[in-house]
A and B are shown apart, each in its own frame.
Chain A
Amino acid sequence: MSIRVENLTVDLGLFHLQNINLTLEVGDFFALMGPTGAGKSVLLEALVGLVPLVSGEIFINDRKITKLAPEKRGISIVYQDYALFPHLSVLENIRYGLRFNSLKRGESAVDELISLLGLGTLLERDPVTLSGGEQQRVALARALAVSPDILLLDEPLSALDPNFRQELRSHLKNLHQASGATFLMVTHDFSEALSLARNAGVMNQGSIEQVGAIEEIFCRPTSTVVADFVGMKNLFKVEFSGTTARAAGLEFKVGREASSGQGYIAIRPEDLILSKEPLVSSLQNSFSGRVAAIRSHGFFYELDFVVNSLIFTAVITNHAFFDFEPAVDDDFYLSFKATAVHLL
């Protein structure tokens, strides 16, 4: 189902939303990002109908639902802290919504979710005895058991241990494909957003700064707020084969094997080592590039280099800057370790 928000304004005192306009297409996986206090969670609760609106409208498939009670919207929500019902067993939690909805295939949907999320052995357990990852899987099953049109996820992975996070990420991907629902996920984690979402929006101080395809936001932030928040420079879309990644005719040596054929790599600007001659060293990546731009930041300089069609950004100290005396159109060598390449 598609969801459309028009001129949404909310005032909760501490948190507020200002004139939010947002459209999610049918079956989209949308990542909502932004600093703490930006109003991301408030926006989710406004969509569910849990906070009073000052003005604005919400549509699902062009049907206005602004005044509809939360239970009639067909929007499920999953919280960071799982919010499982502690007085009900795992199975009772998952089945909780069934009796309020007349679903054609409620029972079989529940069975499918249980097997898809590997919850078969936990059904009789008390939620409090489960690990964080298990609890979040139960929360996902409970939210999807009622076949919602839209699933809202409020930082679903951020309370989890890193190893559970990876596992749940793939669960989320599978669930999105299997359910056909529109997913809207609030997240802090760029790699999470990149690996899961198709489109994304960045919020700041109650308004939306930028909306677009996920790569576009990472590669071409339209405001400094977005750029600062995204914070990741040197992000490239690549083809993996083994421990090699290819993009724009360049071959990157990466530290570990990627799990899929396509993906992203990122390199921190301060990990790039500059030299005028090719370095004889153990650094496995070295490219020749031409200076495109120079920016002074007081204690350091930021340099943009063009390498084939890619733009690399490097950071050097004032001291190094006066040693090299770089100028636009000068040629330099950029070198970095295979382990400095982050796989996303």
Chain B
Amino acid sequence: MRKESFLWLALGSSFIVLLFIMVPLLRMITAPTLSSLWETICDPDVYRSIWLSLYTGISAAFICFVFGTPLAYLLARSQFRGKKIVEAIVDLPIVIPHPVVGIALLGLVGKNFWLGRVMQELGIRIVGSPTGIIMVMTFVGLPFYLQAAKEGFASVSPRLEHVSRSLGASMFATFIGVTFPLAWRSILSGIIMCCARAISEFGAVVIIAYHPMIAPVLMFERFQSYGLRYSQPVAVWLIVVCLLLFVSLRLVGSGARKVSRGSRAGSRL
């Protein structure tokens, strides 16, 4: 009897949690009329901002992938003094409030610091540029990529690497031929998580670059100037585009693995 009532409690609270997540989203998606959605996407400001969000987010995820993968591998495989500290540092961007991230980065690349002045001399514009947006997004997205990739590498048995080495493969060849393909699913998840986190960033980006406007900034501005009805359609378009992006990344990612396996088997026969 007690067990049953606990079961009802668990089911009830699960239902509430799911409602809490789904209802606002459903309400938002169904609020705009089709004609207002069409009008919105024809607005150059809107599609430019969504495009900007997409390519800065993807660039940030790509940078995390290139520079984060070796670190994720190290964290998964080796034990060293101060590893806990490194892990804590890597997680910092998650716990720091987002405006603080923006302010910290602005302090580095703004006119009040030598680095910012040097970059200005060299003609590299950070503040108010896509470069600056990508930098902020990389900063907030890194922990998500590193965590997923680290778990992926940790799940690959070191024995497989040992066997590969003993068969004549160097450390790098082993990584490319064994470890990376086996961790690929987690790495892809990490890329998607990182990309999603980057595209959703508002607080840190708005401090480095109010213009050019990424989609969340545009939404905020429309909401402030014109009200809810004018920011909702932009939000819906952003959600739709992001979903399409992530689903196609998944499909391409798992497809690429199958194809590469098939072609390798074929070429060696």
Contacts and interface: CB of A to CB of B under 8 A. Distances in A.
Which 4 residue pairs spanning A and B have beta carbons closest together? A97-B167, A100-B168, A70-B165, A83-B159
Interface string B234-268: 00000000000000000000000100010011001
A92 B168 contact: no
A8 B177 CA distance: 32
Contacts of A69: 165, 170-171
B168 A146 contact: yes
A73 B165 CA distance: 10
A66 interface: no
Contacts of B160: 83, 85
Contacts of B170: 69, 71, 100
B153 to A, nearest CB: 14
6 contacts: A45-B162, A71-B165, A75-B166, A85-B178, A87-B181, A96-B164
Contacts of A91: 265, 268-269
Contact of B166 (A70, A81, A86, A87): A70
Given A48-B162, A79-B163, A85-B160, A100 B265 contact: no
A48 B170 CA distance: 13
A9 B91 CA distance: 39
B178 to A, nearest CB: 6
A143 interface: yes
A149 to B, nearest CB: 12
Query: Which of B159, B162, B167, B170 lies at the interface centre, i.e. has the most chain A CB atoms within 10 A of its CB?
Result: B167
B71 interface: no
A124 interface: yes
A50 interface: yes
Contacts of B100: none
A146 B166 CA distance: 10
A173 to B, nearest CB: 22
Contacts of B264: 92
A3 interface: no
Interface residues of A, number: 32
Interface in B152-189: 157, 159-160, 162-171, 173, 177-178, 181-182
B211 to A, nearest CB: 46
Contacts of B157: 83
Contact of B167 (A76, A81, A87, A88): A76
A288 interface: no
A179 B115 CA distance: 64
B162 A142 contact: no
B265 to A, nearest CB: 5
Contacts of A97: 167-169
Given A69-B170, A85-B163, A88-B261, 10 more contacts: A50-B162, A71-B166, A72-B168, A85-B164, A85-B182, A96-B169, A100-B168, A100-B169, A101-B168, A146-B167
Contacts of B268: 91-92, 95
A77 interface: yes
Contact of A92 (B164, B182, B265): B265
Contacts of B162: 45, 48, 50, 70, 77, 83
Contacts of A100: 167-170, 173
Contacts of A72: 168
A263 to B, nearest CB: 33
Nearest to B158: A50
Q: Which of B168, B173, B257, B269 has the most CB atoms of chain A within a 10 A radius of its CB?
A: B168
B265 A89 contact: yes
A83 B163 contact: yes
Contacts of A83: 157, 159-160, 162-163
A238 to B, nearest CB: 39
A81 B163 CA distance: 12
A310 to B, nearest CB: 44
B257 to A, nearest CB: 8
A264 B186 CA distance: 53
B167 to A, nearest CB: 3
Contact of B182 (A81, A86, A95): A86
Contacts of A75: 166
